[in-house]
Amino acid sequence: MTKGRIATGFFLAGCALLLLDAATATPLIAPFALVVFMAAFSSIRHELRVTYDAREAAATENAALRSDVERLEHRSRDITLLAEMSEVLQLCTTLCEAIDVLPAYGIRLFPGFDGAVYIAGADDARTLESAAAWGDDLEDVTALNRTDCWALRRLDAHVADASKAAVHCRHHARDARAMRVCIPLLAAGETTGLLTLRASSGAPLPANAELFADQVALALANLRMQEALRTRALRDGLTGLYNRRHMEEALARELGRDDASTGVLLIDVDHFKRFNDTWGHGGGDALLQQLARAMQVVCGEHDVVSRYGGEEFVVVMPHAGGDVVRARAERLREEVKHLVVHHDGQLLGSITLSMGIAVAPDHGHTVETLIANADRALYAAKAAGRDRVATPPPQMVSRDAA
């Protein structure tokens, strides 16, 4: 349509030129020719303006479309990365393994941003410890208190741009050129950690940051639950020592090795019932916990220290002969005499230990036989007056079943 109108304009302009040429012979035609020429010029100018405006509008629309396409491509790439990260995190078996994965994805998902992930401390729920970080200008904050961060207080994302009036978190250093984003890691109603991002002031808010935080929070919560279940399956709930099942499995593995001896130390707290009657069950539990810590200090790095049941404990000592087992037992027996146990503001009484030793292969080759002989040795220590270390009397040694 526009091309037709432009052609018409040029046709009229041509006619006007012919009329002007004829006006040299007939002057009365000149005004009419001039009117026709002006009309043609106005039509051509209008149509050219319409064409130019249409092209400008098309260019603007194309630029907007290209921008939308780029944004969709970035969005698609981020979604792919997030899906990949989620899959990798699901394959992780420990917290440390999952934490090592985060920087590689943080760098790619948030270009231009420095980032860090803090996780809730295992011993103190009020403190979060630095676990992972990425970027060129990292802040040297190894731990922070929950009250230092507004995102943790509000349980919602918190943005503080130094170029604008904003409430800043105490765990961030003041920088007039920086924008900071804090997002709590929430899973099943619990705060498992914190994601922090830092960029130049005025930078656009990072897309997918909250989705990233949600995936990380869920992965960390799942891994912590798995670790708790593994610990519960291996550890005694009161003392934190290995439980009887794990001890027996560890002893069976050691006995499967034919190249070295293995020592077993069976420990019993003397007169524990009297101690419990005097100080109550709370006092008895406090004593067992303190005793467990003392045993871990005295025993070797590779020894398997376990609670056998009640006030009895078993220590499996790989590659240890009778002399080594007795030396550690005697040291432990002396150490516990100086054990200081407090409970409910009271200093509890002292204790002594009786212990029985059995060593493979001299006292057996199976778990059952070694434990039975260590128990006979413990009985001999009790019968001799307690507070001593004994080996099984020769006439009481049990033999492996055929």
Active site (catalytic) residues = 311
Written as six digits, the tokens of 241 are 């020592």
Written as six digits, the tokens of 124 are 């103190």
Peptide bond before 393: cis, by omega within 30 degrees of 0? no
